[in-house]
Structure 1
C-alpha cells in the first residue's frame, strides 16, 4: 500500500452564519471579506463539504480520494477497520459574534436511526473571549422533561441552564444529549464526530435578513436531552512546555494540549491513528525528511498515520497546539 509522506493542509470551508462575525479574518487570518463568517471547517468529510488538500504533491485531491487511495496508511489500521472510507472527525474554528442557538446533538443510535448519521460528541477549546463572554453548558440542577418544556414555553430556559463566563484556555467536553450554546464574543476550536446533526431548541426569537425564524426541533430533542446536571462542566487540566498533555479522552477522539517552545522531536509510533494538529496560538514549523510545513494560529495540519517521526519548531517564543487522534 502506498503511503502519504507529507503533512497535509486543507483549504478552509468558510460558513456564513446569522451569528457569525469577523474574528476568523481578524484573529486567524482567514481569507474572507464577509462580516458574518461563523465557522471555518478545517477538516471535513461531511457530505457536500469535503476538504481539499491545499499543499504539496496531493494539492487538489479531496479527503475522500485520499481515503480511497491510502486507506489505513492515512488513518491507521484500527481507525480504518472501524470507519472504512469515512473520516471520523470534523474540525472547526468558530467565531460567535452573537450567541448561537441553544441546542444539543443526538447519540449514535438515535442519529443512525433518524438520520443515517453518526452522533455528535464534541469538545471546545476557548481561544479568545471578550469580557464577560460565556458558554451555556448543561443544567444547573437535575431537571425533567416537564420542567424543561415549561421553561421552553415561557422562554425562561436560562433559569435552569448552567452559564459559565469563560476565558482563553478553557476546555469543555460536550457529550451527546447535553444542552449547550456558544455565547457572544467567544472564539474557539471545536473537535467533533463527523456529523452535522443539530437539534435547535431555542434561537433567541431572532429572524434572518428575510424575516424568517430558523427551524426549531422541539419534538426531536425531547428524548435526546440528558436532563442530569453536573457539579462542574469545564475540564480541569495541566499543561507542560514541550510535552503533549491529555485534556479530553473519549471513544471518539483524544485531545492533548501541546505547548511548544523551541524544537520538539515527536514520535507517534504508539498511535495507530492519524494525528491532527490545530495551532491555537503562535507559529510553528513541522519538519520531516527535509520538508518544512508552517502552521500558524488558526491553521490545521493532518499527519498521516504512516508518518510517525518528525520535529516541531516554535519560531518565535511559545506556541500552543491541540493534538487530536483516536485511541
Structure 2
C-alpha cells in the first residue's frame, strides 16, 4: 500500500502581469522577472506537476491519476478535477469570466468549466479586486462595454491578507496589482477576457478579448455567493473550513505544535504557505517547508503533523 505523501514539482508561467515574488517570498527558481503563476498541484495538460519522491518519482500527476486511481479514492473521470496555483500579480490581471462545465464542453471541447476561490496570502495596502459588476441586464452590460464605462460597470472590493474570496463560474473578476493569492480551482484553463486596460505585450500587440463569450457565460445581474466558514481545533492544529461547494472543499490550517491521528477519507491537496515541520504517516516521517506542495493519497487513512506552519488544503467534493 502506498503510504506516504506525494510531493510535487511546480510548473511556472510567465505572464504580462507577473513579477518576482514567487522567488522572493517562496524561494522558487522562477524562469523570468515576469513570472505570474506557480502551478503547484496540476494534472492539466498545459502544465502537469512531476512527482518528486517515492515509487512514482518522475511520473506526472496526470499519469499517476490514470494509472493509480486507488491513490485518489477510486474517483471516476478521465481528468484530475482540481488545480492549485499561487499567483503573483505585480500589475492588474485582465477582467475576465469563466464558463460552467456545459459551456466549456460544448464550445471549447474542454472537460471542465472553471469555478475557483482565492486565499489572499499577501497584498499591498489599499489593494483591491474586481468582483462582480453593476449591470442589471445583458443589454446594459453590452452598452457599458461598448461605451468603455469600466469604472461604472466594474465592482471593486478592498482586500487584506487572510481574506478568502469564492469565485463561482460566471463571476466577472480580476485580481488587482500588488496581490499574491493561492487559488484552488477546477482543472481548467478556459478564460474569457472582458477588459485588459488596453495594454500591449512586448511585441506591441493587445491581447484578444472575448466579449461575446463573456456576455453569454456571465452572471447578469451579479449575485454574491452565500457561504460561511466553520472553525474547529484538533490538538495543535486550527482548522478553518473556508468553503464546501459542489466542486471542492477548501481549508486553512494553522499548525502550532503537534496534531495526531488526522483523518483522510478522500485525498488531500496541501500547499505550505509558511513555516516548516514534518508529516508522519504509517511509512514514516517526511519534512515539509514553505512553498512545498504535496498530496496525501487516500491510502493514507491517518497522519500527524508537527511544526509551526500554515497551509491551504483541499479535496474534491464529488
Would you say same fold, with TM above 0.5? yes
Give me the whole-angstrom Cα distance separating, in 2, the residues matched to 1:65 and 1:255: 24
Q: Out of 207, 210, 230, which is 1:214 matched to?
A: 207
Q: Which moved more, 1:147-156 or 1:254-263?
A: 147-156
Q: CA deviation at 1:280?
A: 1.9
Match of 1:267 in 2: 262
CA gap of 1:114–1:281, structure 2 versus 1, over 3 A, is same
Secondary structure in 2 matching 1:152: helix
Q: Which has the higher strand share?
A: 2
Taking the TM superposition and a 5 Å limit, the aligned residue runs for 1:148-163 are 148-163=141-156
Task: Give the secondary structure class of the aligned counterpart of 2:9.
Answer: coil
| 2:108 corresponds to 1:115 | yes
* Contact 2:282–2:300 (Cα < 8 Å) also in 1: no
Cα distance, 1:116 vs structure 2: 1.8
Aligned to 1:325: 315
* 4+ runs deviating over 6 angstroms: none
| 162-171 or 233-242: bigger deviation | 233-242
1:153, distance to aligned residue in structure 2 (A) = 2.0
Residue of structure 2 in register with 1:134 after alignment: 128
Asked if the contact 2:94/2:174 (under 8 Å) is kept, the reply is: yes
Deviations 1:42-92 (A, max 9, x none): 111212422110223322111122123211x21113xx23x2x42100110
Quote the Cα distance in structure 1 between the aligned partners of 2:158 and 2:217: 26
- Out of 303, 307, 317, the position equivalent to 2:296 is 303
CA deviations 1:237-258 (Å, max 9, x no partner) are 3645513221111111001111
Correspondence for 1:74: 71
TM-score, reference length from structure 2? 0.93
Residues 172 and 235, structure 1, Cα contact 8 Å, conserved in 2: no
Q: Is 2:99 aligned against 1:102? A: no
Mapped to 2, the partners of 1:208 and 1:142 lie a distance apart of 30
Deviation at 1:236, TM superposition (A): 5.6
Question: Structure 2 matches for 1:270-285, cutoff 5 A?
Answer: 271=265, 273-285=266-278
For the residue of structure 2 that corresponds to 1:244, the secondary structure is strand
Runs of 5+ consecutive residues of structure 1 not aligned to the other structure: none
Counterpart for residue 124 of structure 1: 118
**What is the 5 A alignment of 1:183-222?**
183-222=176-215
Query: Which runs of 5 or more structure 2 residues have no equivalent in the other structure?
Result: none
Within 2, Cα distance between the matches of 1:281 and 1:210?
Answer: 37
> 2:4 — aligned with what?
6
Please point out which of 134, 142, 147 is paired with 2:140. Answer: 147
Residues 295/153 of structure 1: CA separation in 2 closer, same or farther (3 Å cut): farther
> In angstroms, what is the RMSD of aligned CA positions?
1.8
The 8 Å contact of residues 106 and 120 in structure 1, kept in 2 or not, is answered as yes
Cα distance between partner residues in 1 of 2:23 and 2:225:
30
Q: Deviations over 1:84-120 (max 9, x none)?
A: x421001100000000000000011111101122010
Instruction: Tell me how far apart the structure 1 counterparts of residues 287 and 227 of structure 2 sit (CA, whole Å).
Output: 30
1:58 to 51, 56, 60: 56
1:299: Cα distance to partner?
2.2
